[in-house]
Amino acid sequence: MDRIAPDGSYICVNLADHRVVTDKFYVFGTPDGEATFKRYRAGNPPRLQPYSTNPDHETLQMTGETLIVGRVGRVINDLS
């Protein structure tokens, strides 16, 4: 997600917004209890797509076990 939130960035998440909209950014909970920050892409199946220059960041398929933590509304970068 380094294209919009480089290392050290803060992301502000609206925990009440769980409706997914294509091409918007969310924090998702994974079935193994971790969290991931990805862009939602509709389709069959829906997918969670990184917005990153890092080739190790891969697209994940959204399953019934994927939890929508909330929609990202703001990214804050420290310039110091």
Domain around 59: 10-76
Q: Which of 57 and 17 is assigned the larger pLDDT?
A: 17
DSSP 1-70: -TTTS-TT-EEEEETT-----TT-EEEEE-TTS-EEEEEEE-SSS-EEE---S-TT---EE--TT-EEEE
- pLDDT, tens only, 13-55: 999 999 999 999 999 998 789 999 999 999 999 999 999 999 9
Residue 4 lies in a domain: no
Residue 62 lies in a domain: yes
Determine the pLDDT at residue 78: 82
Residue 5 lies in a domain: no
Residue 20 lies in a domain: yes
Residue 68 lies in a domain: yes
Number of domains the chain contains: 1
The CATH number given to whatever domain includes residue 60 is 2.10.109.10
Determine the pLDDT at residue 80: 67
Predicted TM-score (pTM) above 0.75: yes
Distance, first Cα to last Cα, the chain = 20
Residue 1 lies in a domain: no
Determine the pLDDT at residue 22: 97
All residues at 6 or more sequence positions from 35 whose CB lies less than 8 Å from its CB, including other chains: 27, 28, 29, 69
